Amino acid sequence: MKLIVGFGNPGEKFSNNRQNIGFKVIEIIGNNENIDIKIKKKKSLIGRGKINNNDVVLLKPQTFVSLIGESVLYIASFLRINVSDIICIVEDITLPLGEMRVDYMYSNLNHEGVNSMIRALKSEKFAKIRVGIGKKPDDISMEKYLLQDFTDDENLILIDILNKSEAVAKMLITHPIEEVQEKYNPEGAPKIKKRKVKLIHIDHRKAKK
């Protein structure tokens, strides 16, 4: 079973905020897969269904982003979902609007919601779909920027990236994350350097003496 978590804040007034882009993707997945996200469970709204014959839970935490780990931990524990089977969809201010990355461990993403999940789950071994919302202008605080609505022009750009994020989430259900990264990340999957093992030669002739 896979748990797909969309990041966002509960309430209609936040629905088109930059920080609610994860909720938008979850809603698109739910609509296209006929999964109603209406079941209320401890600070959460969830929907259960199947995607490509795989059991899936769609989660919209109702805790506000900074405490998102509480909701994720409860649902994952209640449904016995492994950390490695969790996918989160999060806004990223370091990426231009319309860009996206698929991330995993050893991420340099510093996000209060992701950090909340890591603390709650005691692990960072979950997939992260990072959806770009554009860099914050200098004349506005981070909080105001994240709670700012997308403009009409930006909403036109969003259509493509929301659909792409949906496709990535669905591919992560059935494919290894490295394959997804190779397909969707411009730089491909990260190349992990193997540790060089120094060979030690033992002179067995001396050892016998």
pLDDT, residue 104, reads 87
| Helices marked H in 64-203 | 68-78, 112-121, 142-146, 152-174, 177-184
Q: What is the predicted pLDDT for the residue at 109?
A: 74
Chosen CATH of 2-208 out of 3.40.50.1470, 2.40.128.520, 3.40.50.12780, 3.40.350.10: 3.40.50.1470
pLDDT at residue 199, rounded to an integer: 52
- Tens-digit pLDDT string for the chain (209 aa): 999 999 999 999 999 999 999 999 999 999 999 999 999 988 899 999 999 999 999 999 999 999 999 999 999 999 999 999 999 999 999 999 999 999 987 666 789 999 999 999 999 999 999 999 999 999 999 999 999 999 999 999 999 999 999 999 999 999 999 999 999 999 888 875 544 545 555 555 554 55
Is the Cα dihedral 136, 140, 143, 147 positive or negative?
negative
pTM score, whole prediction: 0.88
Q: What is the spatial distance between Cα 100 and Cα 163, in angstroms, rounded to a whole number? A: 11
- Per-residue burial over 153-164, b if 16 or more Cβ lie within 10 Å, else e, is eeeebbeebbeb
